Amino acid sequence: MADAVSLRQRYGEDAAIYAGGTELLLAMKLGIARWPHLIDIKPIDQLRRVAATKDLLRIGATVTHWELERDPVVAKALPALARLEANVANIRVRAAGTLAGNLAFAEPHADPPALLVALGARVVLESAAGSRTLLVGEFITGMYQTALGPGELIVAIEIPLPARDVRMAYVKFKVLERPSLAVAAVATIRDGRFVGAPSVVIGAVDEVPRAVPTADFASADVRDPRTAEALAEAARAAVDPSDDLAGSADYKRHLVGVFVQRALGSLIAGAA
């Protein structure tokens, strides 16, 4: 670990951190990116661990999608993440690609960021100067842009574990390889009403995951069709899509509403 940090310090912009390589090697093969040096972090033992306490799940930086999909600790502590991971990309990308690499690359058409932002997850960064922790929502600053400093690397992702009665939903729409749209919703529902405001985050539509303002929905009746429509409207208003291969801006805005309603349906149907 100390070696990785000092290599990062020594080479700065002349080196890239190399984990699964599913994005990095593609970019290098296409000639979009060139690095004289790669710093392979996979041999570092402490980055391979997944551990949970009562209220925190900590995922080391080299843990792959494949491992998260199968990890008994994740399955128990955060089954919604295990399900999400089982549907990222394809088996080969899951076998090699890491969660930290996914966040560090900050490709907007990604699965994990929406759920991680909805859960208030953080990335733990380390450099020669020490370590700091950022919310995933602060770490991802734009399309392929993050707050990662030139001397830093992600060492872990920390996810606060919600209370047992918190429900989670993650739904996505995909026409190409990666999600065109993703909705993560986290909420407590008691006696047919939200307890506090639900957390709803739209992924893959804008350059960064977009949290829907939901303060007005505290205690809303979850089965009232007006709740579903108002939540869909709030989500449509929160995003700023553009026309691209995944569809026109209008089409995507429409789908955001549809998928927010599906996520709500799944929250209502789902066990806590």
Per CB under 6 A, does 189 bind ligand FAD?
no
The residue among 68 and 186 lying less far from ligand FAD, judged by its C-beta, is: 68
Residue 158, strand partner residues: 58, 122
Using CB under 6 A as the binding criterion, the count of chain residues that bind ligand FAD stands at: 32
Residue with tokens 């290098």: 28
- C-beta of residue 63 within 8 angstroms of C-beta of residue 52: no
Window contacting another protein (CB under 8 A); options: 92-100, 121-129, 130-138, 185-193: 92-100
Per CB under 8 A, does 34 bind another protein?
no
CB of 61 to another protein, least distance (A): 17
CB of 48 to ligand FAD, least distance (A): 12
Per CB under 6 A, does 126 bind ligand FAD?
no
Nearest to 157 by CA among 4, 265, 49: 49
Positions in 238-257 near another protein (CB under 8 A): none
- C-beta of residue 94 within 8 angstroms of C-beta of residue 83: no
Per CB under 8 A, does 25 bind another protein?
yes
Q: Of residues 29, 34, 54, 164, which one binds another protein by CB under 8 A?
A: 29
C-alpha distances in Å from residue 35, one per residue of 5, 63, 155, 208, 268: 17, 23, 21, 26, 48
C-beta atoms surrounding 234 within 10 Å: 18
Q: Of residues 10, 92, 190, 223, which one binds another protein by CB under 8 A?
A: 92
Nearest to 66 by CA among 50, 42, 90: 90
Counting every residue written for the chain, the total comes to 272
Q: Of residues 57, 63, 66, 252, which one binds another protein by CB under 8 A?
A: 66
Q: State the Cα angle at 261 between 259 and 264, rounded to 5°.
A: 110
Alpha helix ranges (H) inside the chain: 2-11, 24-29, 65-70, 72-77, 79-85, 91-96, 99-105, 112-118, 136-139, 225-238, 249-269
Window contacting ligand FAD (CB under 6 A); options: 73-81, 104-112, 188-196, 206-214: 104-112
Q: Which pair of tokens denotes residue 170?
A: 């993650």
Q: Which pair of tokens denotes residue 88?
A: 């990222």
Q: Of residues 167, 178, 236, 253, which one binds ligand FAD by CB under 6 A?
A: 178
CB of 88 to another protein, least distance (A): 11
Per CB under 6 A, does 105 bind ligand FAD?
yes
Per CB under 6 A, does 85 bind ligand FAD?
no
The residues binding another protein (CB under 8 A) are: 21-22, 25-26, 29, 66, 89-93, 95-96, 177
The residues binding ligand FAD (CB under 6 A) are: 16-24, 26, 41, 61, 88-89, 93, 96-98, 100-102, 104-105, 110-112, 148, 153-154, 177-179
